[in-house]
Copies of this chain bind each other. A is one copy, B any other.
Amino acid sequence: MADWFSNGEAVGHVDASDRGMQYGDGLFETIAIRNGEPRLWDYHMDRLAKGCELLNIRKPPDAELTAGVLDALHQSNTPTAYSVAKIIVTAGTGLRGYGRALAETPTVLFGAFPALPPPVESYRDGLQAALCQTRLAINSPAAGLKTLNRLEQVLARSEFVATGEFEGLTMDADDDIICGTMSNVFFVTNNSISTPSLARCGVDGVMRRHVIETLRAQGIDTQIQAINLVDLKNVDEVFISNSQFGVMPVQSCADMRWPVGNTTRNVMAILADNGVIECRQ
């Protein structure tokens, strides 16, 4: 079992009254550590800041969070060449009851874990995805944010633990594809790239943002656009993004099949040139 750290000390436990435990009243970030550096740190901090604003939690200063991640890597002897760090920020230990004022003294935990890059074949041939039955609730007040309320992802991902797909695609009740259980999804149609809006549900991944901004900076149009299940089989290519593995082609979802096409390969090449080493093939 991995250790957790707080204020530079190993902490195996949290107060049972912590609002993170009681209500999922908190946020987290899972950060790729590559060659000693947190990747896309500013994007993680941006999303965490947005989450703290919605949840009315005083966000710990970036410097404190940077130091906490480095300390967790160091104290846990986690290799910094290729690993993953997790930051948890909760509203802290408070009185019983849902309501509260500003959480001035959040609980802040840091974890560091060894990691391995996914196999080269996944990037070359694409991954197999499940189509999850669990639907994402529509118009969640925390849509897009990485809160500790993650039951939808737990339920969706648990659907295919036994069958072993790498990822599963999730829909809302309207059959619109929203994202993967741990990734965001992109579609290629007639050489045009799109990804669903996360304004109503889902998690707005930092790698999704990096993909969109990097492609747009290169003059490659990338649309925020819903795609319905009935149209999914007709898209030309599908790929997913995630902070840890970057971008990976999807070769199938349920009975739908897609080739690993030139657009996806081009996106991966661009990402590889922009700090996402996993996409270098």
> Is B16 within 8 A of A158, CB to CB?
no
> Is B14 within 8 A of A99, CB to CB?
no
Choose from B25, B100, B135, B147 the contact partner of A161 (Cβ within 8 Å): B100
A270 at the interface (CB under 8 A from B): no
Contacts A14-B21, A18-B21 given; does A151 touch B154 at CB 8 Å: no
Query: Which residues of B have CB within 8 Å of A137?
Result: 137-141, 143, 201
C-alpha spacing A172/B21, complex, angstroms? 26
> Is B149 within 8 A of A141, CB to CB?
no
A147-164 interface (Cβ within 8 A of B) = 147-158, 160-162
Contacts A23-B151, A134-B141, A137-B141 given; does A160 touch B99 at CB 8 Å: yes
C-alpha spacing A172/B111, complex, angstroms? 36
Query: Which residues of B have CB within 8 Å of A13?
Result: 13-16
| Closest residue of B by beta carbon distance from A25 | B154
> Is B148 within 8 A of A24, CB to CB?
yes
Contacts A14-B14, A137-B137, A181-B98 given; does A23 touch B150 at CB 8 Å: yes
Contacts A149-B149, A150-B23 given; does A157 touch B97 at CB 8 Å: yes
A54 at the interface (CB under 8 A from B): yes
> Is B154 within 8 A of A99, CB to CB?
yes
Query: Which residues of B have CB within 8 Å of A99?
Result: 154, 157-158, 160-161, 181
A33 at the interface (CB under 8 A from B): no
Interface size class of A (residues with CB under 8 A): 35 or more
> Is A139 within 8 A of B135, CB to CB?
yes
A1-46 interface (Cβ within 8 A of B) = 1-2, 4, 11-25, 28
Query: Which residues of B have CB within 8 Å of A93?
Result: 1
Known: A13-B16, A23-B149, A149-B149. 9 other contacts (CB 8 A): A12-B15, A13-B13, A14-B21, A19-B154, A22-B148, A23-B148, A24-B148, A134-B141, A149-B150
10 cross-chain pairs, A with B, having the tightest CB-CB distances, nearest first: A24-B24, A13-B13, A137-B137, A99-B157, A149-B149, A137-B140, A98-B157, A23-B150, A139-B173, A4-B16
